Amino acid sequence: MREKIAELTSNILNPVLTGVVLILVVSFESATDVFDAVKWALTAIALSIVPLCLAAIYLVRVGRLDSIFANIRSQRTTIYILAITLSGVGCIILHCLAAPLILSALFLTAFLLGLIFLCINFWWKVSLHTASGATLMTVVVILYGFVAAAGVVLIPLLAWARVELGYHSLAQGMTGVFLATSILVLVFHFLGLI
């Protein structure tokens, strides 16, 4: 039963889904109207999540990844390099298109986290599930205040799920939370968003 709950939690709160939700929240919060929000959301998803998912699916099919979330540390390097490239290029494109600053800030945060996680990955593994969940919850709290803070309880649940499934240690889960939250807050502060 514990394993089924952990698996369900891990599958629902996966980095792809939390990334899509994060982009939607930021796009709709920063846009002037629904058309504008949809335009920025689709642009951001097309620049980041779609190519990353397609690459991960391809790498799984050719046997270079064990799963779409690359649970084996040595397999993550390619995904990190692609994520860094996509977020860097995406940040430049969004800036050139005059996207809302907060959307560009997300791409800058993803770029910096990708670099940090790539460096750490040479000797240790950080939980991308908890990092993406923490990023989403931090942005939600920044945008909506402490009313939204109740959602933060999902982060320990997600960390537990990843440990329960044997994909990460508690330290790896909490490192993902700490780094994602810290880098996002620093970027948002530096850009005057908080």
pLDDT, tens digit, 9 for 90 and up, residues 81-132: 999 999 999 999 999 999 999 999 999 999 999 999 999 999 999 999 999 9
Residue 145's H or E segment, with its range, is: none
pTM, to two decimals: 0.93
Task: Phi first, then psi: give them for residue 167, nearest 5 degrees.
Answer: -85, -25
**What total number of domains does the chain contain?**
1
What contacts 24+ positions apart, CB below 8 Å, involve 162-169?
162/6, 162/10, 162/127, 162/129, 162/130, 164/2, 164/3, 164/6, 165/3, 165/6, 165/7, 165/10, 167/10, 167/71, 167/127, 168/125, 168/127, 168/129, 168/130
The pLDDT of 7-27, averaged and rounded, is 95
Write out the residue range of the structural domain in which residue 85 sits: 2-190
Per-residue pLDDT of 35-80, as tens digits, reads: 999 999 999 999 999 999 999 999 999 999 998 888 888 999 999 9
Per-residue pLDDT of 106-116, as tens digits, reads: 999 999 999 99
What per-residue confidence (pLDDT) applies to 146? Answer: 81
Q: Are the C-beta atoms of residues 145 and 194 closer than 8 Å to each other?
A: no
> What is the CB neighbour count within 10 angstroms for residue 20?
16
